Amino acid sequence: MSQIRTGPIAVFALALIGGSASAQDADIRHPAERYKLRLHYNTYSPTFTGDTRKGSEDADFIDFDDDLGFQDERIFDARGIIQFGRGKKFRVSYTPLDYQGDQDAPKTFTYGSTRYERFTRVRSSVRGGYYSADIQWDFVERPWGFLGLIVGAKAIDVDATVVDVADNVREVDTYRVPIPVAGIAGRAYSQKFSLEAEISGLSVGARGHMYDANGTARYHVSDRLALQGGYRLLRLTGKDENDELNLRFAGWQFGIELSL
């Protein structure tokens, strides 16, 4: 009777399995993507447009530029990303909003319960912030970059004030509009440069909708530091019964990315 020596065969099989597992576990991501914490800071110079109404469906829409004299402002955008697993990222962002207008009303309009006559001096403002929190899952990870799905929420929280300076009569309203979002993001590397694009948004029916899209080019000083610039478009509509707020921001942004 012949005997089969299983010892060497078992060792060889275990070596193959171990080699296969090691190949599967090999981190093929671009070196710049092997971080735990990533921070972004941008200066953002958007063109700001939009309108609002308050009171009833028959109330006037008040244009922030034409009727209230709002001026474009330079603002900032701060973002943080925690990579809690390979290709699994928790992301947050904050953009402050502070816009003001001060001019004579070019027409007679009603906002809330107050009627503003033509040529009345009107002082107004929109102050608050734009926030986001989401999870990104990179379902494609390669040495050239990644492609990921986004699920989370974005929210705008602002106070809108319109003041009749002569009569010292004011209307103040607060808009808090949280909207769940879904989207996609991707980045491609080439030597010391990379390109990234992202779009996210969703509609919540009568409550409003939001769309946020941006494209960014980066020069990587190292795998941990990059200079960035790009274009961003944000559109948001929030409704609460007969009150409505429409905002649009579009413009260039420039900043820095730090990966740790």
Q: Is the dihedral of CA 64, 69, 72, 76 positive or negative?
A: negative
3-state SS assignment for residue 3: coil
pLDDT of residue 60: 80
Beta strand 114-116 pairing with 109-111? antiparallel
Task: Please tell me what DSSP assigns to residue 59.
Answer: S
Please give the chain's pLDDT, 260 residues, in tens: 444 444 554 444 444 444 434 444 689 999 999 999 999 999 999 999 999 888 777 778 899 999 999 999 999 999 999 999 999 999 999 999 999 999 999 999 988 888 899 999 999 999 999 999 999 999 999 999 999 999 999 998 999 899 999 888 988 888 888 889 999 999 999 999 999 999 999 987 777 889 999 999 999 999 999 999 999 999 988 887 778 889 999 999 999 999 99
User: How far apart are the C-alpha atoms of 183 and 204, rounded to whole Å?
Assistant: 15
pLDDT of residue 239: 81
Task: Please tell me what DSSP assigns to residue 33.
Answer: G
pLDDT of residue 192: 96
* Cα dihedral 101/102/108/109 (nearest 10): 30
At residue 17, what are phi and psi to the nearest 5 degrees?
A: -60, -45
- pTM listed for this prediction: 0.85
pLDDT of residue 205: 77
pLDDT of residue 130: 93
Residue 118: how many other CB atoms lie within 10 Å: 10
Length of the chain (residues): 260
Please give the domain boundaries of the chain with CATH numbers for all domains. 31-259 (2.40.128.90)
User: How far apart are the C-alpha atoms of 177 and 183, rounded to whole Å?
Assistant: 19
Please identify which residue in the block is written with the tokens 């009727």: 67
User: How far apart are the C-alpha atoms of 102 and 161, rounded to whole Å?
Assistant: 12
3-state SS assignment for residue 50: strand
